[in-house]
Structure 1
Amino acid sequence: MKFFTADTHFFHKDLLGDNDFAPRPFATVEIMNQTIVQNWNARVKPTDTVYHLGDIALYFTRPAKLSNEAVFEVLKALNGNLVLIKGNHDSRDLFKYLANRNFVINGKPKFEFHDVGVIIKLNHRQLYMTHYPMMMGIVKQIINLHGHIHHYSVNIKENINVGVDTPEKDYLNYKIPFGAPFSESDIEQMIEGKRTDFAKRG
């Protein structure tokens, strides 16, 4: 099974509490991190693949090895093989650190790295997965899954925000736990929900 997420922002203490960007109601980053890990592992099996579309964590220390090690320990605790697409807050140093400590699970590396994006086919569509939203113009059977803009929605029906703070989770017929990646069926619901929403506006 494939899952999709973005903008977990592990360790990002400035998002805690009430703010205008992506408010997260946690007392500490440890509680936030633990909540995401628990909700992630409750639905993702060790044999699944999760596409993480950038901004894994926001945690920088001197030396960088300390924060890289902390992020690595969190990612190790997450079920599944992780396909990591670089976000604006993901350093090359972190990716290098993870690559040097990569390990095999399910016959594949735990971590796979991409600087810009990944394209896969799913349910007769092409999914262009990037950190930043793409402006694609008029397209057929192409959907851009992205992160970056947190609680905003791109005003284009072919763009689906899969970040943990996305407002487009409201297209789902259930309340997804905070930080849990979106399943293939969730993505279908979000695509159809946004398409229906746009048709009503017409």
Structure 2
Amino acid sequence: MRSWFTADTHFGHGSLRALMRRPFETTAAMDSALVAAWNAAVAPEDEIWHLGDFAVGHGDPGGLLASLQGTKHLVWGNNDPPAVRALPGWASAGPMAEIEREGRALVLCHYALRHWNGQRKGAWNLHGHSHGTLKPLPRQFDVGVDPRGYCPVRLDDLRAPPGVAA
């Protein structure tokens, strides 16, 4: 089992597609490309943590969730209404999570944190929400689809930008 991370898919959110200048001609094309990238990376036995803003305005978020591979966890964001949070396809759903993977402590939140548990002991903060617009702190990574090539990432994929210690 491998662990994957993503955020800010905004399935069904046409105005965000335009606002973020995502390179897809239509919202349906965006959704299709995001599903294909997810399922190409994430195997059925893998786990994936979605750090908020899963689907906004999608007509069938439950069917969409069922079409995505992996054991899916939601750390909800500001655009995840109660109906999305309660979908039966989530293995877990909450406002924040602290987990350990590959020997690394991770603090997962939709929002970039200024301080997080274990920060001075090497813990990483993985987040979404900012769509790649924030300068990260050391050991802080935006795992949203916009700065990550529109696909989920693994811990090995996360690299600190030049000048920022990992």
Q: TM-score, normalised by structure 2?
A: 0.88
Q: Find the counterpart in structure 2 of residue 115 from structure 1.
A: 94
Kept after mapping to 1: 8 A contact 2:98/2:107: yes
Structure 1 gaps of 5+ residues are 61-66, 103-109, 170-177
CA distance in 1, matches of 2:48, 2:135: 23
Higher-Rg structure is 1
Kept after mapping to 2: 8 A contact 1:7/1:148: yes
What is the deviation of 1:114?
Answer: 2.8
Residue pairs, 1:21-170, within 5 angstroms? 22-59=20-57, 67=59, 70-96=60-86, 98=87, 102=88, 110-136=89-115, 139-166=120-147, 169=148
RMSD: 1.9
CA distance in 2, matches of 1:146, 1:154: 13
Kept after mapping to 1: 8 A contact 2:85/2:93: no
CA distance in 2, matches of 1:4, 1:186: 10
Q: Secondary structure at the match of 1:126?
A: strand
What percentage of residue pairs aligned between the two structures are identical? 33
CA distance in 2, matches of 1:114, 1:73: 17
CA distance in 1, matches of 2:102, 2:41: 21
CA distance in 1, matches of 2:124, 2:74: 19
Structure 2 gaps of 5+ residues are none
Q: Secondary structure at the match of 1:14?
A: helix
Q: Deviations over 1:154-196 (max 9, x none)?
A: 3411211000012xx4xxxxxxxx4320023213xx2xx33x5
CA distance in 2, matches of 1:37, 1:185: 22
CA distance in 2, matches of 1:77, 1:155: 32
The structure carrying a bigger helix percent of its residues is 1
The structure 1 segments of at least 4 consecutive aligned residues displaced by more than 4 Å after TM superposition are none
Kept after mapping to 2: 8 A contact 1:154/1:160: no
Q: Secondary structure at the match of 2:83?
A: helix
Kept after mapping to 2: 8 A contact 1:5/1:164: yes
Q: Find the counterpart in structure 1 of residue 8 from structure 2.
A: 7
Q: 2:156 aligned to 185, 194, 201, which one? A: 185
